[in-house]
Structure 1
Amino acid sequence: MNPLICARCGAYTDTPVVAPDGPVLHCVECGHRQPFRRLPLFSVTGPSGTGKSTVGRLLTEWLSDRYVVLEQDVLWVAGLRDASHDHRTFRSTWLRMIAMIHQSGRPVVLCGTVVPPEFEPLPERALFSEIRYLSLMCDPDVLAERLRARPAWREWDEPRIAEMLEYAEWIRANAATMSPPMSLLDTTNAPVEETAKAVCSWVTGEPRPLDRQQR
């Protein structure tokens, strides 16, 4: 189901209207009320090099029976990039696609760099009950070395690394005062599996993910 298209009259909107009396989409053209699943979105975010993609692979294995885990960079393509508008098209496209996935009944865990001011003001935000943000972080020296160790095709030169370190510091300084606040998880010394377990617990509210042999 495309939440931007009225199921009765076929009218299209870029600004979905959710009725205040329940998870119902309201068509401003014909008045049709369409129930839909208004689920939470879990955003596993953070600066490049903090472990989002690596952790995401484990989350896919552990959470696949209840959640859909997605990698944000898969849509980082030329047609969706627009730096002059803070890549609004890219972010709106993600929220629209996730809202449709949610109609299958499974919440989405999105792994990729984003902060609340980039998602929360968008009209598609109305399609979610909440967006929770967990930012992976690590010490600046470790982050710089991780970025330097990346393959050459990723083009992490020193100016770009310096820019990412500045961005990481900005997140650390402002996470608690954003709306909603971002939780932080330090990955500096933690093994990947331990980080993934902590993220899994943050998503599910359960103490630890079950080992595969326990499932």
Structure 2
Amino acid sequence: MGIKLPLFIVTGASGSGKTYVVQELRGIMPNFDVFDPDHIVEFIGHDWEKVRNIWLRVAQNIAQSGRMTIICGSMMPWDIEKCVDFPCFKQVYYLNLHCNDETRERRLRERDWSVEMIQEHKNFAKALLDIADKDFDPPMPTIDTTDTDVTLVASQIKEWVLRYV
């Protein structure tokens, strides 16, 4: 099977800043490959199982070159564990980006989201906070992006990743 390296997933409900932090992470972590999984949705649609399997395959192939991957997308352990390439990783680590409800609502309204979808993601964000310590191994840390500059968020993510490499 080759090299088994860890995989890092920066998760969070929509509007938390996952896409926003990708470019900054690429700049400060040039030895890692950083991806936003939503970038392939326009080509393959909203088949989230397929999206997850594709990204884990990409990360697994990158690992064979001795490099590690950070995926910035809403991905949960119970879904990732079903992926074909899940056993190819030494460990999968999760970090949660979070913002307060008002900020999330503003960010998602700017994307023309419906009231129902915004509420769904507020609920998801709350659920992530509730399960961070019990459904993730190791427990999932949270970074609040409400008023935090993207540069600081990226540096906090970098510190978290470097703890495990």
When normalised by structure 1's length, the TM-score is 0.71
Aligned to 2:118: 161
- Identify the residue that residue 105 of structure 1 maps to in structure 2: 66
Give the CA deviation at 1:80: 5.5
Shift of 1:184: 1.2
Q: For each residue in 1:95-149, what CA deviation from the matched residue of structure 2 results, as whole angstroms up to 9, or x when unmatched?
A: 1111011111110011111111110233321000001000100111111111112
Tell me how far apart the structure 1 counterparts of residues 90 and 131 of structure 2 sit (CA, whole Å): 23
**Is 1:142 the equivalent of 2:103?**
yes
Contact kept in structure 2, 1:44 and 1:111, CA below 8 Å: yes
Residue 48 in structure 1 maps to residue 14 in structure 2:
yes
Moved over 4 A (4+): none
Match of 2:162 in 1: 204
1:178 has 2:135 as partner: yes
TM-score by structure 2 length? 0.90
Q: 1:80·1:89 contact (CA, 8 Å) conserved in 2? A: no
Deviation string 1:165-184 (CA, Å, 9 cap, x unpaired) is 11111111112111423221
Question: Structure 1 CA distance, aligned partners of 2:89 and 2:45?
Answer: 22
Percentage of matched positions with identical amino acids:
32
C-alpha distance in 2 between matches for 1:37 and 1:75: 26
> Cα RMSD over matched residues?
1.7
Distance in 1 (alpha carbons) for counterparts of 2:43 and 2:104: 27
For structure 1, the residue ranges without an aligned partner over 5 or more in a row are: 1-24, 26-35, 207-215
Structure number with bigger Rg: 1
The structure carrying a bigger helix percent of its residues is 2
Aligned length: 163
Tell me which amino acid in the other structure corresponds to 2:153: T
| Structure 2: gaps spanning 5 or more residues | none
2:81 to 120, 133, 138: 120
Contact 1:134 1:183 in 2 (8 A): yes
